[in-house]
Structure 1
Amino acid sequence: KAPELNDTLSALSDAEVMERLGVAGVSPEGRFAPDTYAYRPGSDDITVLHRALALQQNRLQAAWENRATDSPLKTPDELLTLASVVEKETGHELDRDMVASVFINRLKKGMPLQSDPTTIYGLGEGFDGNLRKKDLRHPSPYNTYVHRGLPPTPISLPSMRALQATARPARSDNLYFVARGDGRSEFSADLASHNRAVNRFQRKAGGQPLKGTAAAAEAAGAASNHAPMRQNHE
């Protein structure tokens, strides 16, 4: 609770809060702009949420209007959802446009996103901090190893940069990426190159598990569409 801000919403469910904000039936995920908001002492919390909701809608609309002409995304809501994945998958700001490119390219090719953050989101409170092979087979609609296309809703609050990058990503043929261990990612257009990058950066890490190997997709039985990204799975 923010200091000197009147609490009018904490007793309400998410659905009731969204109804109070005038957007009944809409998931709150992704709908509020992450930012710093000034307010007068004694203001109601809903007034701040209204501002955050309006700001995110304005950012989303601006990004949508500037989207690439060949974007596979069909609606602003789809842009918001994928941007939330890009937000969670980006380890370094300099990689954000290329991370978005990987996911856009996979959508264009009909490949599953195979994103750990979406799968973790679907596990909810059942996630203990360690994503295992069995989790990649979990039937959650957010499991993008099992289900092709986008998850049902956003999974985070995407920043303006994530929205912009997803609407107009870097131009590339990349379909995979692996964490290099220095905060940046190594991107590859084909599986052979990706596997070489995985082996190289695993050696740098002294054989320790790294985010970004293809083991996750192999474990999920996706032999032809290996995971682009995030970590080894036990």
Structure 2
Amino acid sequence: MPSTAKKKSSHWVKAILVMLLGLSVLIATVLWASLFKAYPITGNKQMLAINQGDTYSGLIDRLAQEDKISFPIVLKLYQKFVIGESLKAGVYEVTEQMSVAKVLSMLADAKNAQMNRILVIEGTTFKQLIERLKKDALVKQEVSHLPYDQLLKALNIPYTHPEGLFAPNTYFFAKGESDKNILLDLYQRQMKALDEAWQNRAEDVPYKTPYEALIMASIIEKETNVDSELEQVSGVFARRLKIGMRLQTDPTVIYGMGDQYDGNITRQNLRTPTPYNTYTMHGLPPTPIALPSQKAIEATLHPDDADALYFVATGKGGHTFSATLAEHNRAVQEYLKVLRANKE
């Protein structure tokens, strides 16, 4: 009997050992497939760009969808418990045979970046641009802390207000580049785009100077994010200016409210005069209200030749354009129906 019990015990031990061995092999296989295999690149090396605001979770999900990695949950756990840091914006060099784990760890330290990626979003303000530069550890701070008038003087820019003067886009600068050089580069790009568009402008646009066109481009930029509508919005505002009709555009009211804006516009806000409130004033505001893209600048100087004087959001993306107030009022009612239906 004892001999039989020993044999049974021995079989159990062997079975457990086999299971543990199999589990160990499985774990090793998963770890290799997820963490230790080579990060997929084309050629001997490849640049990997990380935007401001990108996350490890988003990056890992994207790579999984592209079938470039395996076992994304393992990579997320590795990031959470081993790396612990967040992604740092920049452009990183990934070399051949570099493991997935090494790449993920590299992205947690901005010092590893080869170049600094700076994203300037169209329609954002100069204040937002400056705040982004101030927070970027890879940008050498020289002028961002200055009051706007002193900053413009330091950059030798012949304007009294910085809004709209800097081109939005995605840029790559060397680590340690100064905010002064970055701003100068963005300014020169914007002025070049504006000058070229002005030279090729359509006949009879209602703007006396390129700067007036820049002001309008910033308004158009804020009014629609649908590229195909840019010239239509431009046409509405150009026709209003020609007939002496007020622009009555909400983004100018918001800009004039400054830090008082809390996400809502009231009727009282529309009635309260500011230098930017186009509900209470005729013509253009004194400066741009945002950083307009080259597309918005081009649209400003090439408005459509339709007859619309009004537009309102559809609630489904895009806008409805109308030639008469009666048509516009019907479009507004349709928009309100969509809003009520969405709430219900």
TM, length-normalised to structure 2? 0.59
Quote the residue 2:136 is aligned against.
Answer: 2
Quote the residue 1:38 is aligned against.
Answer: 172
In the alignment, the residues of structure 1 paired with residue 139 and residue 237 of structure 2 have an alpha-carbon distance, to the nearest angstrom, of 39
- Contact residue 30 and residue 154 of structure 1 kept, 8 A: yes
In the alignment, the residues of structure 1 paired with residue 273 and residue 226 of structure 2 have an alpha-carbon distance, to the nearest angstrom, of 31
In the alignment, the residues of structure 2 paired with residue 207 and residue 36 of structure 1 have an alpha-carbon distance, to the nearest angstrom, of 38
Q: How many matched pairs?
A: 209
Quote the residue 2:279 is aligned against.
Answer: 145
TM-superposed deviation, 1:24: 4.6
State the secondary structure of the residue aligned to 2:303: coil
- Residues 159-185 of structure 1, C-alpha deviations (whole Å, 9 max, x = no match): 000000000011111110011111110
Report whether the alignment pairs 1:47 with 2:181: yes
TM-aligned CA distance change 1:131 to 1:94, over 3 Å: same
State the secondary structure of the residue aligned to 1:205: helix
In the alignment, the residues of structure 2 paired with residue 150 and residue 207 of structure 1 have an alpha-carbon distance, to the nearest angstrom, of 36
- Contact residue 113 and residue 149 of structure 1 kept, 8 A: yes
Q: Which amino acid aligns with 2:312?
A: V
Q: RMSD across aligned C-alpha pairs, in angstroms?
A: 1.5
State the secondary structure of the residue aligned to 2:172: coil
- Match 1:159 to one of 283, 288, 293: 293
State the secondary structure of the residue aligned to 2:321: strand
TM, length-normalised to structure 1? 0.85
TM-superposed deviation, 1:117: 0.5
- Contact residue 91 and residue 185 of structure 1 kept, 8 A: no
TM-superposed deviation, 1:25: 4.3
Deviates more, 1:2-11 or 1:198-207: 198-207
- Residues 7-48 of structure 1, C-alpha deviations (whole Å, 9 max, x = no match): 112321111111011015421000000012221122211111
- Contact residue 144 and residue 179 of structure 2 kept, 8 A: no
Unpaired stretches in structure 1, ≥5 consecutive residues = 210-234
State the secondary structure of the residue aligned to 1:36: strand
Structure showing greater Rg: 2
TM-superposed deviation, 1:112: 0.4
Runs of 4 or more consecutive aligned structure 1 residues displaced over 4 Å after TM superposition: none
Quote the residue 1:200 is aligned against.
Answer: 334
- Match 2:265 to one of 122, 131, 134: 131
Within a 5 Å distance, the mapping from 1:206-217 to structure 2 comes to 206=340
In the alignment, the residues of structure 1 paired with residue 333 and residue 178 of structure 2 have an alpha-carbon distance, to the nearest angstrom, of 54
State the secondary structure of the residue aligned to 1:58: helix
- Residues 99-148 of structure 1, C-alpha deviations (whole Å, 9 max, x = no match): 11111110011000001110111111111211011111212010101100
State the secondary structure of the residue aligned to 2:169: coil
TM-aligned CA distance change 1:41 to 1:208, over 3 Å: closer
**Greater relative contact order (Cα < 8 A, sep 6+):** 1
Higher helix share: 2
TM-superposed deviation, 1:207: 6.4
In the alignment, the residues of structure 2 paired with residue 24 and residue 16 of structure 1 have an alpha-carbon distance, to the nearest angstrom, of 12
- Contact residue 37 and residue 48 of structure 1 kept, 8 A: no
Unpaired stretches in structure 2, ≥5 consecutive residues = 1-134
In the alignment, the residues of structure 1 paired with residue 264 and residue 335 of structure 2 have an alpha-carbon distance, to the nearest angstrom, of 21
